[in-house]
Structure 1
């Protein structure tokens, strides 16, 4: 199997289980969680770089303002996505979060078409239309657009695009992103500590330990995702994307017991139908174009 498919698939599987982790630290404000994710991710990634002795890229990057600016934007997108997602899980919106990542393949296909000039096939456009209808239905039923879901889909869609076209590898790119975000996180954590607030001052040791675990838990799936995104088309990336929200949806309904009105289920059903069409078309196309032995 394609290494890019395996890498991205493992990343999405890990992300699908993230609500379990963020529910465990639900007493920590979302913004503080993001500070810790940023800091401990940087520590973990730079530890990996230290072991591998892969530092040759750093002086060249620091002399390239355009590259730094590009990764500054991707770091901002990533941190916004983190913040929205953690807030959603901690405030009983796991289903809305899962919807965001159901929508994300629409964003991937659209960005691939507009920016990378990828050409989705006819049935792929049918799948996009079905998923779009599902999103519209959910917006009509709730009386407003599903802003949490759309914000998650857009921030991660644009982040995936930037990582796909980035000139740095998965490990180096994540190291640069966390390096750019860490000064902000350190200043914010220092202010909390000086005020006698935050987990490091007031929280139990067990919660602090859970937050330390955020480093590898955050970095490893992102490394897998970035490695996969560079090897496979945006459309394939969009198909694999459904692993994560499917797991989140099941967790939201069965583990966290969030209400799911029958009318909302219609919207989800349209999106699942889009997945079925997209998957079947992809399998058929690969079978038809596979070289015969």
Structure 2
């Protein structure tokens, strides 16, 4: 690899780490804004993402790409569906942090890549490698352990994993960049968000405007939402998909550590569940790394390599 490529790859790696680290620190932000009800905070997150996203589009000269996507009915319809999945995911995650269920949020994003693989097999005809199958089995055992031994079915975790998988599948069907796509999704959601905030204001239950610190924190939800995605988009173009796949576990690991920091109760059932999930994640990451190696591709052939991706 020549020097410019090394620099580009290193920049991509740091950007990927930055993106997942910002996502991993989200619990700190949502704990700081617990005084704001989850639906209002979600509405502000949508509202303040729009102007900040527009600035990014102007800076990156992607207004034209955004307009082209809006003019395509199929693209617009799929992005509208994606926006519903994204808003549901955001809202439930905020709610999870506010009711002190950070571990469930973390668990959801650990499970998410495994759900992706399962959906690819069930609905897109992709074949499951033995290691991928074993990883999914370990994840299922973890969920069962928490449900049976701990008496807590991880509904929040599974909802977060499934809703973000639906979002990812819909975005995969659309040929549009990360930032233009997000801007259109926010644009679709802006009217109901604005109407909800107006209704809260009319009923006298709007938190925004009652505390200066909370006001600024709610405004900050715009850049907090957009910046990680921007860093992720930068990284995705500069590092290998297998590297990006391993980096995605940085986020839920940091969320898990946030749960420890904030003193959430970590039971024996949690320990069993997370141990099984971590083993599944390790197997999944190893399989992704192994299948991306050139020597493995030469031994197995192109068809088998694609099967394991």
User: TM class by shorter-chain length?
Assistant: 0.7 to 0.9
- Partner residue, 1:168: 176
- Of stretches 157-166 and 90-99 in structure 1, the one that deviates more from structure 2 is 157-166
- Equivalent residues, number: 290
Say which of 213, 219, 240 aligns to 2:220.
213
RMSD of aligned residue pairs (Cα, Å):
2.8
Change (3 A) 1:286 1:55: closer
Say which of 230, 249, 258 aligns to 1:251.
258
- Whether the aligned pair in 1 keeps the contact of 2:150 and 2:269 (CA below 8 Å) is no
Change (3 A) 1:184 1:86: same
Change (3 A) 1:275 1:62: closer
Q: 1:49 offset after TM fit, Å?
A: 2.0
Q: 1:137 offset after TM fit, Å?
A: 1.4
Change (3 A) 1:32 1:3: same
Is 1:143 aligned with 2:143? no
Q: 1:105 offset after TM fit, Å?
A: 1.4
TM-score where L is the length of structure 1: 0.88
- Partner residue, 2:306: none
- Whether the aligned pair in 1 keeps the contact of 2:108 and 2:161 (CA below 8 Å) is yes
Change (3 A) 1:288 1:67: closer
- Of stretches 79-88 and 11-20 in structure 1, the one that deviates more from structure 2 is 11-20
In 1: Cα distance, 2:246 partner to 2:35 partner: 34
Residue 183 of structure 2 aligns to a residue whose secondary structure is: helix
Q: 1:230 offset after TM fit, Å?
A: 8.3
- Partner residue, 2:111: 103
After TM superposition, list the pairs within 5 Å mapping 1:88-99 onto structure 2: 88-99=96-107
After TM superposition, list the pairs within 5 Å mapping 1:121-136 onto structure 2: 121-136=129-144
- Of stretches 5-14 and 25-34 in structure 1, the one that deviates more from structure 2 is 5-14
Change (3 A) 1:22 1:248: same
Q: 1:46 offset after TM fit, Å?
A: 0.8
In 2: Cα distance, 1:7 partner to 1:112 partner: 27
- Partner residue, 2:204: 196
TM-score where L is the length of structure 2: 0.84
Is 1:269 aligned with 2:281? no
- 1:156-191 deviation digits (Å, cap 9, x = unpaired): 111122223321111110110011111111111111
Q: Which runs of 5+ in 2 are unaligned?
A: 1-8, 299-309
Q: 1:21 offset after TM fit, Å?
A: 0.6
Q: Which runs of 5+ in 1 are unaligned?
A: none
